[in-house]
Structure formats: C-alpha cells, structure tokens
Amino acid sequence: MNLELNDKVVVVTGASRGIGRAIALGMAAEGARVVAVARDKTALDKLVTEARARSKKDAVAVGADLSQLAEVERVVEEARRAGGGRIDVLVNNAGAIRGGGFLDMPDAQWLNDWSLKLMGYIRMARAVFPIMKAQGGGRIVNVVGAAARNPTATYLPGGAANAALVNFTKGLADLGAECGILVTAVSPAATRTERWDQLMEQQAKAAGKTVDEMRATAQAPYKLGRIATPEDIADVVCFLASARASFITGICITVDGGATRGVYA
C-alpha cells in the first residue's frame, strides 16, 4: 500500500521518546520530512539522525516547551520555514498528565498538566490551521488516551483532558472539512513507554497498592496477553495521515487490543 507520505512535511510533537518517537520514525520510513518537537534536544538530535537514515530526506529537531503559547508559535514558524512554507501533517502527541488522588492534587497540577496536553494540542492546531488552509489541505492527528472514555478516580485530569480532546477533534473536523483539512484522533490504551511505568507508580500510590498489583490490575483486560507497543500506535497514526485515509475525518480510533468493553467504543 502506498501511503503517499513521501516528501510530506510532518510535525510530530513529543517525538523525543515513546509513542511520538515511533510515529516520527514510522513517518520517516514512508519518506516524510519529519519536524520533531520536544524539550530534550539531545534525544531529538539522535532521533533526527535515525529519521534521516530511514527517509533519505531532511529531518529537523525543534527543542521547545509546548506548554507555553509563545513556544508553540515559534515551533510552527520554524516548522513552516523548514518545510519550505508547507506543513502537511501535524501529529499532536506531547503529553505528560500525572495521576494521583483527587483530593490530594493541587490546583497547579491540573493547570500545569492541561497547559501541555489540552492547550498544547489546541494551540498547535490553531497555529497550523491557516497554513494548511492556504496550501489547500492537510491532516491533524491527535493522540488522545483511552482514558477519555474510561474514567479512573486516580487519573481524573487525564480522563477529562482526553474527553475534551475527542470533542475538539470532532468539532475541528467540521471546520477543517471546508478547506481539505482532515482531523482525526488515535486513542491508545496502555502502551509500553516510560510514561506508562510512571503512571503505574503514581496510580499505585494513590490507590494504596504495590506497583506490581497496580500493573496486574491495569493489564488484566488485555486478552492478547500484552499491552501496546509504540509502533502499534504509530502505524495507525501514519495510516490516518496518509492518502489512504482520505474519507476519514472527525473520528477517534481506539487501539487497545480489544480491551475496551462496549461495542460502540
């Protein structure tokens, strides 16, 4: 299958590790020109070297803290310049919402974590939208955790932000449809990354369990006998960004190995 991602300018946020890194490398394997964004410039530079080797195209690392509006605007300007005026695909993926007990969680934690995962996605989409509109279209793919539809008392900021982003994805897709911008979301369930390990530690503490107990409880619904790899998620993101998904917009695809109960999820 030809995804027609060759030469496309693809911005991936949170590309220094985990799911974002796998997406950036997946796009590079399809010949895309990757613009990789995160704070850890050393990790990004390493990724960019790997991406160039795969794509045989240029790839660019942009170090930035995406919880800040000014940084978002700088990133989009640098990406646009690197792409010769184009941004074909935006993958919103950078997120670091912490788990914890509701009554112990300070106000600042909610605001801080939402400024990246929620406002970071919204601001990036708002900044690339006029560029995509002017060039006649584009793709925005939001990585939105399955916590959107699966509330957990020890991960309320994550559940609420992700639920908002599913709604945002659908509403923005209506606006984008008028100008050829398709907006979709991919919803990973548990995925083996550093973040997953941190979440298990935070949630175990809040629930008064050991990390092993928490992990066993969280992984029990996965009938395939494993949780997702970052590449499982990256493959679906690449597909949605591709020419082979030209009639798909406004939806959120769950990638959970069948773990979610309910046939409409």
Q: Which residues are catalytic?
A: 155
Cβ distance to ligand NAP smaller for residue 133 or 209: 209
Q: Among 33, 86, 123, 195, which residue sits at the site for ligand NAP (rule: CB under 6 A)?
A: 195
Strands 181-188 vs 252-255: parallel, antiparallel or unpaired: parallel
Task: Rule CB under 6 A: say whether 19 interacts with ligand NAP.
Answer: yes
**Which amino acid does the sequence have at 203?**
Q
CB of 157 to ligand NAP, least distance (A): 11
Cβ distance to ligand NAP smaller for residue 1 or 108: 108
Task: Rule CB under 6 A: say whether 20 interacts with ligand NAP.
Answer: yes
Q: How many residues sit close enough to ligand NAP to count as binding (CB under 6 A)?
A: 30
Residue 38: strand pairing partners: 63
> Which range of residues in 46-54, 79-87, 140-148, 171-179 is near ligand NAP by CB under 6 A?
140-148
**Which amino acid does the sequence have at 31?**
G
Orientation of helix 41-55 relative to helix 18-29, angle to 10° = 20
CB of 6 to ligand NAP, least distance (A): 25
Q: Among 55, 154, 184, 191, which residue sits at the site for ligand NAP (rule: CB under 6 A)?
A: 191
> Which range of residues in 2-10, 39-47, 130-138, 238-246 is near ligand NAP by CB under 6 A?
39-47
Cβ distance to ligand NAP smaller for residue 190 or 259: 190
Q: Among 138, 145, 157, 159, which residue sits at the site for ligand NAP (rule: CB under 6 A)?
A: 145
Task: Rule CB under 6 A: say whether 57 interacts with ligand NAP.
Answer: no
What residues make contact with ligand NAP under the rule CB under 6 A? 14-20, 38-40, 43, 65-67, 93-96, 116-117, 143, 145-146, 188, 190-191, 193-196
